[in-house]
Copies of this chain bind each other. A is one copy, B any other.
Amino acid sequence: MKKLLNRVDDVVVESLAGLAAAHPCLVKLHPSVKAVLRADAPGDKVAVVSGGGSGHEPLHGGYVGYGMLDAACPGEVFTSPTPDQMYEAAKAVDGGKGVLFIVKNYTGDVMNFQMAADMLAGEGIAVEQVVVDDDVAVQDSLYTAGRRGVGGTVLIEKIVGAKAQAGGSLAEVKSLCERVNSQVRSMGMALTSCAVPAAGKPTFELGEDEMEIGIGIHGEPGRKRMKLKPAKEIVEMMAEAIVADLPFKAGDEVLAFLNGMGGTPQMELYLAYNDLANFLAGKGLKIARSLVGNYITSLEMQGFSITLLKLDEEMKALWDAPVETAGLRWGR
Which among B3, B266, B274 is the interface contact of A14 at CB below 8 angstroms? B274
Q: Does A130 interact with chain B (Cβ within 8 Å)?
A: no
Q: Report yes or no: B228 in contact with A265, Cβ–Cβ below 8 A.
A: no
Q: Report yes or no: B22 in contact with A273, Cβ–Cβ below 8 A.
A: yes
Contacts of A313 in B (CB 8 A): none
Q: Report yes or no: A18 in contact with B263, Cβ–Cβ below 8 A.
A: no
Q: Does A52 interact with chain B (Cβ within 8 Å)?
A: no
Contacts of A172 in B (CB 8 A): none
Contacts of A228 in B (CB 8 A): 2
Q: Does A129 interact with chain B (Cβ within 8 Å)?
A: no
Which among B22, B234, B265, B297 is the interface contact of A292 at CB below 8 angstroms? B22
* Known contacts A5-B231, A228-B2; is-contact A300 B263 (Cβ 8 Å): yes
Number of copies: 2
Contacts of A230 in B (CB 8 A): 5-7
In the complex, A271→B231 CA distance in Å?
33
* Known contacts A5-B230, A266-B262, A300-B302; is-contact A273 B331 (Cβ 8 Å): no
- Of all chain B residues, the one with the shortest Cβ separation from A232 is B6
The DSSP consensus for interface residues of chain A is mixed
* Known contacts A3-B268, A57-B265; is-contact A22 B290 (Cβ 8 Å): yes
Which among B18, B55, B300, B329 is the interface contact of A277 at CB below 8 angstroms? B18
Which among B23, B297, B332 is the interface contact of A331 at CB below 8 angstroms? B332
* Known contacts A265-B262, A329-B330; is-contact A270 B15 (Cβ 8 Å): yes
Q: Does A294 interact with chain B (Cβ within 8 Å)?
A: yes
Chain A 273-332 residues near chain B, CB threshold 8 A: 273-275, 277, 287, 290, 292, 294, 297, 299-300, 302, 304, 322, 324, 326, 329-332
In the complex, A77→B265 CA distance in Å?
12
Q: Does A244 interact with chain B (Cβ within 8 Å)?
A: no
Q: Report yes or no: B2 in contact with A274, Cβ–Cβ below 8 A.
A: no
Contacts of A304 in B (CB 8 A): 4
Contacts of A3 in B (CB 8 A): 191, 268
Q: Report yes or no: A299 in contact with B267, Cβ–Cβ below 8 A.
A: yes
Q: Report yes or no: B262 in contact with A4, Cβ–Cβ below 8 A.
A: no
Q: In whole Å, how far is A200's beta carbon from the nearest beta carbon of chain B?
A: 11
Q: In whole Å, how far is A3's beta carbon from the nearest beta carbon of chain B?
A: 6
Q: Report yes or no: A11 in contact with B267, Cβ–Cβ below 8 A.
A: yes
* Known contacts A322-B331, A329-B330, A331-B332; is-contact A5 B266 (Cβ 8 Å): no
10 contacts between A and B (CB under 8 A): A2-B208, A2-B228, A5-B271, A11-B271, A16-B270, A263-B264, A265-B300, A294-B294, A324-B330, A329-B331
Besides A4-B231, A329-B331, 18 new A-B residue pairs in contact (Cβ under 8 A), listed by A number: A2-B192, A3-B268, A5-B268, A5-B271, A6-B230, A11-B267, A15-B274, A18-B269, A18-B273, A21-B277, A262-B265, A263-B302, A264-B300, A266-B297, A300-B302, A324-B330, A329-B329, A330-B330
